[in-house]
Amino acid sequence: MYNARLLTIQDISCVGQCSLTVALPVISAFGTECAILPTAVLSTHTAGFSGYTCKDLTDEIPKILNHWKNEKLDFDIIYTGYLCGSVQIDLVKEIVIATKKDNGLFVVDPVMADHGKFYPGFDSSFALKMKELCSNADVIIPNITEACFLVDVEYVAEGYTVDYVEELLDKLLALGSKKVILTGVSFDKDKLGVAVKEKNGKTYYYFNEKIPHNFHGTGDVYSSAVAGSLSIGKTVEQAAEIAVDFTVKAMKESYEERYSHWYGVRFEKAIPYLNSIISKK
Ligand code: PXL
């Protein structure tokens, strides 16, 4: 997939180091053209700030899609993140049908929850709708909480078994996506990583150091690095690994300031790692 054109669909949180302010620089660091479709404009993200503003852009999406159709624009990869409501999920399906190249990839991060809870504005009816998007995807990238909400399994924060993770993976694959990357997997207090599986395949686990702090925005950093890696022709397993290493580097860069700079990770400082990946290509 040489010189891929990637479209990412998620919100602009003006301040907060998440969604598009992460996806654009991270995907660009792979040398890949990154087109955007903003789903909403928020003054900040919703996790920890109070009084944030939000302008939902659902009404703009059909107009933007029409223009793209007229211009015959298409994409090698479509990667979705934070979507605002069920109508946007239907619109994303239309966008994928109309603009994804035949041999292109559709990557879904079902952003809606973490640490056992839905983010503000999300609920089980949104999770039900998100299942539909996952069923159309080539790769889905849920965290454990999102996985549990997608497949109706009880959330277990820690101390779970390999069987628990395998049950989640198999139920997620049964939704219909070709591959699953399950994030936030940990069987050991010092290691954190991901599990990658395709239907009837063997699970591939990849771990790195567990940084002992919950940072906001790591899901977006991770999924953007997966999408960027896929855009330069890496396999899903390689992409999953590169993204773990990048996210850990970003967390390490953020650790000292974890309380004063609480709202996001300093992924910008870890960008040279991505440059090293593309120079090895
Ligand atoms: O990082 C996911 C995310 C994206 N966009 C907005 C959010 C969140 C998580 O809280 O609030 C607006």
Average pLDDT over residues 144-150: 98
CA dihedral (246, 252, 253, 254) positive or negative: positive
**In this predicted structure, what is the pLDDT of residue 2?**
72
Given a contact cutoff of 8 angstroms between Cβ atoms, the answer to whether 28 and 55 are in contact is: no
User: Which alpha helices (DSSP H) does the chain contain, by range?
Assistant: 20-29, 60-70, 86-99, 124-135, 144-151, 162-174, 218-231, 236-255, 271-279
Contact 46 CB / ligand 1 (< 6 Å): yes
| β-sheet bridge partners, residue 140 | 108, 180
The tokens describing 238, both together, are 């390689």
Contact 82 CB / ligand 1 (< 6 Å): yes
Cα separation, 4 vs 210, whole angstroms: 33
Quote the mean pLDDT of the chain: 97
**In this predicted structure, what is the pLDDT of residue 10?**
98
Report how far Cα 92 is from the mean position of its chain's Cα atoms: 15
Cα separation, 92 vs 198, whole angstroms: 23
Ligand 1: residue of 10, 11, 109, 224 to mutate (most ligand atoms within 8 A of CB) is 11
Q: Give how far Cα 76 sits from Cα of 10, 23, 88, 167, 254, Å.
A: 17, 16, 21, 31, 33
Contact 18 CB / ligand 1 (< 6 Å): yes
pLDDT at residue 185 tops 70 = yes
DSSP 267: G
pLDDT at residue 241 tops 70 = yes
Q: pLDDT: is 125 or 281 the higher one?
A: 125
**In this predicted structure, what is the pLDDT of residue 97?**
98
Confidence class of residue 164 from pLDDT cuts 50, 70 and 90?
Answer: very high
Q: Is residue 214 classed as helix, strand or coil in its secondary structure? A: coil
DSSP 143: B
What share of the chain in percent tops pLDDT 70? 99
Contact 42 CB / ligand 1 (< 6 Å): yes
Cα separation, 1 vs 228, whole angstroms: 11
The region that residue 95 occupies, defined by phi over 0 for left and psi between -120 and 50 for alpha, beta otherwise, is alpha
Average pLDDT over residues 240-264: 97
Cα separation, 170 vs 186, whole angstroms: 18
Confidence class of residue 1 from pLDDT cuts 50, 70 and 90?
Answer: low
Confidence class of residue 281 from pLDDT cuts 50, 70 and 90?
Answer: low
**In this predicted structure, what is the pLDDT of residue 50?**
94
DSSP 268: G
Question: Whole-model pTM?
Answer: 0.97
Rg (alpha carbons) of the chain, rounded to whole number: 17
Given a contact cutoff of 8 angstroms between Cβ atoms, the answer to whether 54 and 60 are in contact is: no
Given a contact cutoff of 8 angstroms between Cβ atoms, the answer to whether 112 and 127 are in contact is: yes
Average pLDDT over residues 122-146: 98
- Pick the atom of ligand 1 nearest to 18's CA: 1
Average pLDDT over residues 56-83: 98
**C-alpha of residue 105 to centroid of ligand 1, in Å:** 23
Average pLDDT over residues 19-25: 98
Cα separation, 201 vs 196, whole angstroms: 9
Query: Which H or E run includes 183?
Result: strand 179-188
**C-alpha of residue 46 to centroid of ligand 1, in Å:** 6
Average pLDDT over residues 175-196: 97
Average pLDDT over residues 61-65: 98
What share of the chain in percent tops pLDDT 90? 97
- Pick the atom of ligand 1 nearest to 54's CA: 12
Q: What is the tens place of the pLDDT at every residue in 79-122?
A: 999 999 999 999 999 999 999 999 999 999 999 999 999 999 99
Contact 217 CB / ligand 1 (< 6 Å): yes
pLDDT at residue 173 tops 80 = yes
